[in-house]
Structure 1
Amino acid sequence: MTTYYTSDQHFGHLNIIRFCDRPFPGVPAMNARLVQLWNDTVTDDDTVWVLGDVALGALGESLAGIGRLAGRKILVPGNHDRCWEGDRALRKGDPEARERRRTAARQRYLAAGFAEINDRPGPVSVGGQRAALSHFPFEGDSHGADRFVEYRPVDDGGWVVHGHVHDTWRQRGRQINVGVDAWGGRPVAAETIERLIADGPRDLAPLGWV
């Protein structure tokens, strides 16, 4: 049994192909390749932490592939996930209305195939080092100025395993980006994260798609 980390699949999102220069002619080809690369890497005995932005567009279509992905899947929502705690739609109205919308949104992701949704997971130990799990890095963005600062983990001297920045970096200092655009489309094994941490803070460029 192996633990994996990944993020930013953007199932169903046409513009991400252009934005991140993904090598696909359209959404169907991209979705199919993401599923293939995942299942070539992960088995049903494994656990996969998906650190946000799993799907965009019409959720009925873009979430359809989740059930085809191997392993036990845990979602840490990102800013493009409809069940994200910071989503504007979930913060409107009275408390009861907000809770109903939040429950309904989360249920869609659970029904699609996620075993669990964890908004703010506690730190994990990776290779004997403390690491936060978050959609967001401590600092840095793929759109210039840092966004969603209030939802980012606090840099307390440990590491962060994150997504959000797409192909901006694979590692920057103590920040390890597990987004598919930095790792050739595949989830990243915990053992790989351990080796990066053991080698210490540094900067690494993204790997190409395979």
Structure 2
Amino acid sequence: MTTYYTSDLHFGHLNIIRFCDRPFPGVGAMDARLVQLWNETVTEDDTVWVLGDVALGTLGESLANIGRLHGHKILVPGNHDRCWEGDRALRKGEPEARERRRAREHERYLGAGFAEIHDRPEPVTVDGSAFDLSHFPYEGDSHGADRYVEYRLPDRGGWIVHGHVHDTWRQRGRQINVGVDAWGGRPVPATTVAALMADGPRDLEPLGWA
């Protein structure tokens, strides 16, 4: 059994093809290739942490791709996920109404194929390397100035594995971006992440799409 990390699949999102220069003529081809690359990499016995921004567009269609993916899938929501605690719709109204909406969104993502949803960043250890899992890096963004700073972990000198920045970098210092746009569309094995940490802080450019 192997553990993997990935982020920012953006199933069903037409604009991400142009924004990140993904090599696909449309959403259908992109979604099919993401599923293919995942299932070529991951077995049913593996675990994959998805660090946010799973699907956009018509969620009934785009979230259906989750059920086609191998493995035990765990979601740490990002800013484009309807179940994210910072989603504007989940912050409106009275506390009871907000909790009901949040529970419904959780059920929608769990029903689509996620086994677990972890609302807050997760501390983990792999091969003796300790780090945090979060959608957001300590600093940096794909749209200029840092957004959602209130949801980011403070940099206390440790490592963070994240998404959100798409093809801006694969590694920047102690920040490792596991988004599909930095890793050729494939999930990243935990052993690869641990090896990058063992090599120390540095800057790495994204890999090309497979």
Equivalent residue number for residue 77 of structure 1:
77
- Aligned residue for 2:33, secondary structure, equals helix
- Say whether 1:184 aligns with 2:181: no
TM-score (norm 2): 0.99
Equivalent residue number for residue 42 of structure 1:
42
Q: In the aligned structure 2, how far is the partner of 1:122 from the partner of 1:49?
A: 10
CA RMSD of aligned residues (A): 0.6
CA contact (8 A) 1:129 1:158 kept: no
TM-score (norm 1): 0.99
Q: Tell me by how many angstroms 1:154 deviates.
A: 1.5
- Say whether 1:159 aligns with 2:163: no
> Can you list the C-alpha shifts for 1:65-110, whole angstroms capped at 9, x where unaligned?
1001000000000000000000000000001110110001111000
Runs of 4+ in structure 1 displaced over 6 angstroms? none
- Aligned residue for 2:103, secondary structure, equals helix
Deviates further, 122-131 or 105-114: 122-131
Q: In the aligned structure 1, how far is the partner of 2:36 from the partner of 2:129?
A: 32
Q: In the aligned structure 2, how far is the partner of 1:209 from the partner of 1:35?
A: 14
The one-letter amino acid paired with 1:13 is: H
How does 1:9-28 map onto structure 2 within 5 Å? 9-28=9-28
The one-letter amino acid paired with 2:179 is: G
Aligned pair count? Answer: 210
The one-letter amino acid paired with 2:160 is: V
Structure 2 stretches lacking a partner, 5+ long: none
Q: In the aligned structure 2, how far is the partner of 1:20 from the partner of 1:208?
A: 11
Equivalent residue number for residue 52 of structure 1:
52
CA contact (8 A) 2:79 2:86 kept: yes
Deviates further, 162-171 or 151-160: 151-160
CA contact (8 A) 2:7 2:50 kept: yes
Q: In the aligned structure 2, how far is the partner of 1:69 from the partner of 1:125?
A: 25
Q: In the aligned structure 2, how far is the partner of 1:76 from the partner of 1:203?
A: 25
- Aligned residue for 2:122, secondary structure, equals coil
Q: In the aligned structure 2, how far is the partner of 1:121 from the partner of 1:79?
A: 13
Q: Tell me by how many angstroms 1:119 deviates.
A: 1.0
CA contact (8 A) 1:49 1:75 kept: yes
- Say whether 1:87 aligns with 2:118: no
